[in-house]
Amino acid sequence: MPRLCFATNNAHKLEEIQALLGQDFELLTLKDINCNEELPETGDTLEKNSLQKTQYLFDNYGVNCFGDDTGLEVESLNGEPGVYSARYAGEQRNAEDNMNLLLEKLADKSNRKAQFKSVITLIQDGVITQFEGAVEGEIITEKRGNQGFGYDPIFVPENLGKTFAEMSLAEKSTLSHRARAFAKLVEFLKKSNVV
């Protein structure tokens, strides 16, 4: 069974991705390969951050791997928080603080359109491939739901009427930005006879 390392320590992401990937290959975590350091993430775009994390793993641990970077982009805030989504309200990376800051910045805005975007970089035997997934929607005025993580309680995908945080993992897995990007990754792996 092929093995791939996922460049994250985020337990929620790992759970979500394992559900998407099923039993087609063994998903290794950073812990599994004894990577205990913080992965570099200094790029100014989701694409650069995704590549930087994955390249670091491949170069230093010699494993086939993939990494993602995800951002929430709000139209009326010129794409904020974007690449800074996880640390929008500071280096403490607190989801509540991030949501509160975003709601504060949107308080006087009528345009609340936003999109979640994920970029995945796969490195296999030195070959780099990137995949992108996005889901459009809007930021609501108060938090709803207790599933998911990050900005899920304030993001309502287009035409759905409920937040990501009000959906089950199975429901979210069918339509999230990450699910869309990972569907492309899985399709690519199958076509290249890796899975």
- In this structure, what CATH number is given to the domain that contains residue 38? 3.90.950.10
In sign, the C-alpha dihedral spanning 61, 121, 41, 116 is negative
Cα distances (Å, whole numbers) of residue 113 to 73, 74, 139, 154: 9, 6, 7, 12
Backbone angles phi, psi at 63, to 5 degrees: -110, 145
Tally of domains in the chain: 1
| pLDDT attached to residue 8 | 85
Q: What's the angle, vertex CA 48, arms to CA 46 and CA 52, rounded to 5?
A: 120
Active site residue 152: no
pLDDT in tens, 95-147: 999 999 999 999 999 999 999 999 999 999 999 999 999 999 999 999 999 99
Question: What number of helices (H) and strands (E) belong to the chain?
Answer: 5, 7
pLDDT in tens, 30-82: 999 999 998 998 999 999 999 999 999 999 999 999 999 999 999 999 999 99
> Model confidence at 195, in pLDDT bands (50, 70, 90)?
very low
pTM to 2 decimal places: 0.85
Q: Residue 32 belongs to what domain range?
A: 3-191
Question: Looking at 32, 44, 59, 69, which residue is catalytic?
Answer: 69
pLDDT in tens, 81-99: 999 999 999 988 899 999 9
Dist CA 141 CA 117 (whole Å)? 21
The letter for the amino acid at 120 is: I
